[in-house]
């Protein structure tokens, strides 16, 4: 299983969004903001506002689900390592790891 230090070539959101089935099962690292956070037991799901971590430009919205718990809140800027999935034929990420991004003033 990859981690942030072992993913060398991550495909960008725009590249994947053009032809999601081509990238199914690939691991990507995308940044964005958390929206619509849902927590259930030892799992989370949320919408990742891709590219919006600095509130400059929104590239797209991707649902993310994890099988682990994390301390997150709506509006947190995060970096997500995930596997591209196509539940119901729509682009999504199965989160493998994530961490909060902190901006410096």
Per-residue pLDDT tens for 86-102?
Answer: 998 999 999 999 999 97
Confidence of residue 103 (pLDDT cuts 50, 70, 90): low
pLDDT digits 0-9 by tens, 32-51: 999 999 998 889 999 999 99
- Give the DSSP letter of residue 20: H
**44: helix, strand or coil:** strand
pTM over 0.75: yes
């Amino acid at each position: 299983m990859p981690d942030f230090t072992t993913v060398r070539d991550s495909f960008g959101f725009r590249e994947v969004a053009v032809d999601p089935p081509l990238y199914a099962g690939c691991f990507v690292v995308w940044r964005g903001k958390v929206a619509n956070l849902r927590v259930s037991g030892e799992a989370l799901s949320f919408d990742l506002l891709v590219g919006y971590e600095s509130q400059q430009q929104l590239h797209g919205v991707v649902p993310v689900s994890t099988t682990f718990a994390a301390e997150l809140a709506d509006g947190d800027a995060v970096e997500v390592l995930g596997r591209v999935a196509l539940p119901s034929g729509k682009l999504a990420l199965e989160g493998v790891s994530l961490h909060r991004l902190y901006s410096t003033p």
